[in-house]
Structure 1
Amino acid sequence: MAEETLPEQIANRLRRDILRGVLPPGTAVKERDHAGELGVSRTPMREAIRILAKEGLVILRPARSPIVAQPSFEDVAHNIEVMTALELLSARLACERASDAEIDHISDVAARMAREYDKLDKLEVFEIDMSFHRAIAEAARNPVLAEMHRALLARLWRARYLSASRKHARDRVLDQHAAIVQGLRARDVAEVEKSLRAHLDHLLINVADFFDSEQTGTTDPASAATSG
């Protein structure tokens, strides 16, 4: 895997700050201030902000500093509908096309998440969870699908993290991952689709719960658990 460029490293830092609520929605992302804080020039900072804009995490504004985005529930729900269709297609194609080594890799990611779930902070667990879903998309061996999945996953990054159920979802998420891996190993399309659909159904439920909580002022981003 190629090493990350400086703009990608900066984007990762800013993305984590957005997910953790250090940069909440509506916050201006000032190139000069953030570049100075990180000890970099404004050129890679500007490129990092463009990366986050493509992901939908920030909104660019003419002659003004970009701001951290706050998509509506409707926007997020529409993206989740498409994401669900892409992930189900990815799983079906992975059953047909993935090599045993690729399925082993998916299994390894699931095992790492289970092993480290209680040791890592929630954002680190979330990042492993997203790598599990990316690995399935890549195992479908359709580069167009994989690229569309990466782009949409990026757009849903903040929603998938912050809209997680405030209930402890550990056992459900790990059990669903294990069932998905078992279905992939058996090349059982019906079983994989059933397990993955149940997994993704909880995502939409959690998104709705998060937006409801946000409206009533009861949301605590720091307490969010991984949604899958």
Structure 2
Amino acid sequence: MPEETLPDQIANQLRRDILRGKLAPGAQVKERDNAAEMGVSRTPMREAIRILAKEGLVVLRPARSPVVAQLTLDEVADNIEVLTTLELMSARLAVDRASEAQIEEIVEIQNRMERLYDDIDMIDVFELDMEFHKAIVRAANNPVLVEAHGSVLSRLWRARYLSASRKRSRDRVLAQHNGIVEGLQTRDKALLHGYLSNHLEHLLINVQDFFEHANDGPDTPASPTSAA
């Protein structure tokens, strides 16, 4: 895996700031201030902001500071609909096309998530969960699918993270992940589809719950939860 460039590293930090709410929806992302805070020049900061804009996390504005994007429930639901279709298609293709090494990578990510779930930062749990889903898509061995999935997933990053903070669903999520892994290891399309579709259904339920109770209190829970 290639080393991250400085703009990539900055984008990762800004992405985490958006997830945590340090950069809230509608907030300006000031190039100069953020560059000074991180101790970097404005050039890689500008590139990092462009990365986030391409992902849909930030909205660029002519002659003004970009702002953190805020999707509506309808927009999020539309993206989840497409994401679900892409992930189910990828899983079906992965049963036929995935190498043993690719399946082993998915197993390793799940084992790491299960092992560390209670001991690491909530965002680290969330990122492991997202890496699990991305690895399944990669195992379909279709670059177009990978690109399309990455584009939709990035637009849902904050919505998935905040919806997760509403639901303490550790045991359910780990059980579903293990079922997905079993479906891949046994090359059983029906088993895999059942676990993955049920897993993704909870994503929309959690997002709807988040939007319904968005003004009830803090977004972030005291302990890690899952993203789907």
Give the TM interval when normalised to the shorter protein: over 0.9
Q: Distance in 1 between matches of 2:31 and 2:167?
A: 37
After TM superposition, the structure 1 = structure 2 runs for residues 37-186 of structure 1, keeping only pairs within 5 Å, are 37-164=37-164, 166-186=166-186
Q: Distance in 2 between matches of 1:45 and 1:209?
A: 34
1:221 lines up with 2:225 in the alignment? no
Structure 2: gaps spanning 5 or more residues: none
Kept after mapping to 2: 8 A contact 1:210/1:219: no
Report how far residue 220 of structure 1 moved: 2.2
Report how far residue 167 of structure 1 moved: 3.2
Q: Distance in 2 between matches of 1:46 and 1:97?
A: 39
Report how far residue 133 of structure 1 moved: 0.3
- Count of residues paired in the alignment: 226
Structure 1: gaps spanning 5 or more residues: none
Q: Deviations over 1:11-67 (max 9, x none)?
A: 000000000111111111100101111111111111100100111111111111001
Q: Over the residues paired in the alignment, what is the CA RMSD in angstroms?
A: 1.0
After TM superposition, the structure 1 = structure 2 runs for residues 7-22 of structure 1, keeping only pairs within 5 Å, are 7-22=7-22
SS state at 2:75 partner: helix
**Any runs of at least 4 consecutive aligned residues in structure 1 with deviations exceeding 4 A, and if so which?**
none
Partner amino acid, structure 1, of 2:41: S
Report how far residue 164 of structure 1 moved: 1.5
Kept after mapping to 2: 8 A contact 1:202/1:227: no
Identity of aligned residues (%): 63
TM-score, L = length of structure 1:
0.97
